[in-house]
Structures are given as structure tokens and as C-alpha cells.
Amino acid sequence: MRPGSHLPSPIMSSTPPSLSTDVHELAQRLASTSYAVLLSGTHVTGKETLAVSLSEAFACTWLKAEMAHNSATFGARSQAKKGYNYSEVFGRIWLSKLQRLGFTLDRDKEEKGSNVASPNNSGPDYKAVISCYAMRKPARDAIRYAMLEHSIKPLFVIMHITKDTLSGRTLGAEEPGLAEKIMGEKMKDVEEPLAEEKDVILIDSLRDVDTLFQETKEGITRQVS
């Protein structure tokens, strides 16, 4: 790590000092807010099809964030071994990678000039629809904290499938030994969010495309109303 890097001082913790269930209260207190829709799910759930439809409906950019997620996970794990806070590092890398993909923070607009208008100025300001494979709670917590610091409320849309469905898809598509190994790694990907995660929308990925779109759009609209 070169001198002058932006890594915080080492903190032996898996979450930022101020990150707790109260982060949801922080979201409610924000005076001026933009939204980012984070769409996640396991393989073969139709994320990209839904992401395109949602980005068109909300007049915002669609970003594919698999590489950002990989970089944030690898970097956070590496730095956590040195005593740095996993969530803080994950969130910092995540936002940095998203900005390279075209994601803008409010301060970015201010630096470019106050006359930069939102593409959706007749309603809520949706920054982007961001698609990624299955996102576990530690990643959601880190992203939630990082985005709220910039007055951006993340809305997590999880395309849920049951463990039985995941098992059927995996065991039927892979050699038995490999399939069992994959299942051991993937089980945590289909765990349902905790009740405290009020910004998570859980949808049934087995529904047809049109129904998925309508239910997801309605769920997002309820969250921002």
C-alpha cells in the first residue's frame, strides 16, 4: 500500500464502529436523498433482463457490478488480515469501482457544476440499477453504510430461489462431486434477509418476466414513497 492511501487505521472489527441496525434510522433522517437499486441473485435468475427493464422504467443507468463486487471482496479480505475494518474497506472499494463504471455521487455533480440536471427530475432521483450475483449480508451492510454516507439510499432487490430449487439446478447441471462442492458454497447465497433489513425487497425469481417486473417496480415505488 503506497503512502497517503485512504485506508483507515486498523480496526479489529467486521463492521464499522457506527454501523448497526441504527443505520436504517440514519436513512430515514436524510434530508436530501437519491436511490440506487441493487439487484442480486444466484445464477440463472434473469437478473440482467429485469435490470434492463427497471433502468428504463426509472430512467437511469444500468451497471453490471460483478467485477466491482469481486474487487471489493478480495480487497476487504486482504486488508482485514492486516487489521483493517472489512466493511469500511469493502465499501470504499465498491464505490470507487462503481464510479469508474459511471456511477455518480452528488459531490461529483457539484464538482462538474450545479447546472447538471438529474435525468429523472420529475420524481425520485434514481442513480442507477446495479446488477450483481448473490450478495450476502456483510456485503449489503458495507454497501448500505458507504452509500448512506453520500445521502444515497440503497434498495436491495433479491431474486430469491429456495434451496431445493438451487439444488435441482446445480445437481442436474454438474458432475456429482463438483455439484456438492458448489452447493456447499452457494447455500449462504439463498439465505433470506433479516427482518431488520427494511431496505430489502425479496422477490420470487420463478415468476414470469412480466410479473417479476411489475412486482419489483411496485416494491421499489413503495420504498421511496
The model carries a pTM of 0.76
Alpha carbon 128 to its chain centroid, in Å, reads 11
Phi and psi of 196, rounded to 5°? -70, -15
Give a yes or no: residue 138 inside a domain: yes
Owning domain of residue 164: 23-224
Give a yes or no: residue 200 inside a domain: yes
Q: Which residues pair with 158 in a beta bridge?
A: 40, 202
- Nearest-angstrom CA–CA distance, 25 and 56: 30
- Nearest-angstrom CA–CA distance, 125 and 132: 21
Task: Give the DSSP per-residue string, 54-118.
Answer: HHHHTT-EEEE-HHHHHHHHHHHHHHHTTT--HHHHHHHHHHHHHHHHT---HHHHHHH-TT---
Reported as type and span, the H/E element at residue 48 is helix 47-57
How many domains does the chain divide into? 1
pLDDT in tens, the chain (225 residues): 444 344 544 543 444 444 444 555 656 555 557 999 999 987 666 788 999 999 999 999 999 999 999 999 999 999 999 999 999 999 999 999 999 999 998 655 444 444 334 444 567 899 999 999 888 899 999 999 999 989 899 999 998 776 666 666 555 555 666 666 665 666 666 667 777 898 999 888 888 889 999 999 999 999 998
Give a yes or no: residue 127 inside a domain: yes
Alpha carbon 4 to its chain centroid, in Å, reads 28
Give a yes or no: residue 12 inside a domain: no
Give a yes or no: residue 4 inside a domain: no
Amino acid identity, position 174: E
DSSP character for 19?
-
Give a yes or no: residue 137 inside a domain: yes
Q: What is the CATH number of the domain that holds 137?
A: 3.40.50.300
Alpha carbon 105 to its chain centroid, in Å, reads 15
Give a yes or no: residue 16 inside a domain: no
Give a yes or no: residue 5 inside a domain: no
Residue 118: what pLDDT? 46
